[in-house]
Copies of this chain bind each other. A is one copy, B any other.
Amino acid sequence: MQIDVDLLFSWGAIAKEYKRNELVFVEDEVANFYYQIIEGCVRMFNSNDDGKEFTQGYFVVGQSFGEPPLFIDEKYPSTAVAFHDCKIIKLSKDKFLKIIDEYPAIQKQFLYLLAKRIYSKARTSNSIINQKPEFRILAFLSDHKKGNSNEKELVAFTRQEIANFTGLRVETVIRAFAKMKATNKIEIINHKIYF
């Protein structure tokens, strides 16, 4: 949990519902709100001219997103959309920055959070740029694995979503999966992937 929900409400935050695929904010828009997910899952992405999308990240229950621009007075570098139906807390930028100032413990939490984000962005951009499709996909799968046991678990992303995250095309992802199945790196049962 990022900021205590009751605290947020006491500062005037409101909860808003978003249907699947509804936009939360759009690239190049001015950043005016702090967002924290109560229910559902949010995807951040960029589109290029051809309509090809690149997923910057997924955010789930309890996580906040789109904060960096609030601190540095920048526009949103990406678009955020409800990946599933969502309930999201919204608080104005001013109030959010005041909370940060008034509660040193919260400020510190955000420092750690941003440090984590940079760390993982450094790792993903490295694996995406330097490596072959199979490697990129494996990096994605490892990062998004819930348990860290050896047991294989269901991958809850479509091949298209994995393609968007790894900067590949669906067909390439599918073909890579075929190879990975052959080498026992994953299992595919009934079109579902287990890793």
Quick one: which of A35-53 are within 8 Å of B by CB?
46, 48, 52
A1 at the interface (CB under 8 A from B): no
A130 at the interface (CB under 8 A from B): yes
Chain B neighbourhood of A52, CB < 8 A: 130
- Bound-complex Cα distance A72 to B119 (A): 9
A92 at the interface (CB under 8 A from B): no
Contacting pair A122 B78 (CB below 8 A): yes
Number of A residues contacting the other chain (C-beta, 8 Å)?
Answer: 38
A111 CB contact (under 8 Å) in B74, B107, B130: B107
**Main DSSP-derived SS at the A contact region:** helix
Contacting pair B119 A118 (CB below 8 A): no
Given contacts A71-B115, A72-B115, A114-B118, contact A77 B126 (CB under 8 A): yes
Residues of A at the B interface (CB closer than 8 Å) are 46, 48, 52, 54, 56, 67-72, 74, 77-78, 100, 104, 107-108, 110-112, 114-119, 121-126, 128-131, 167
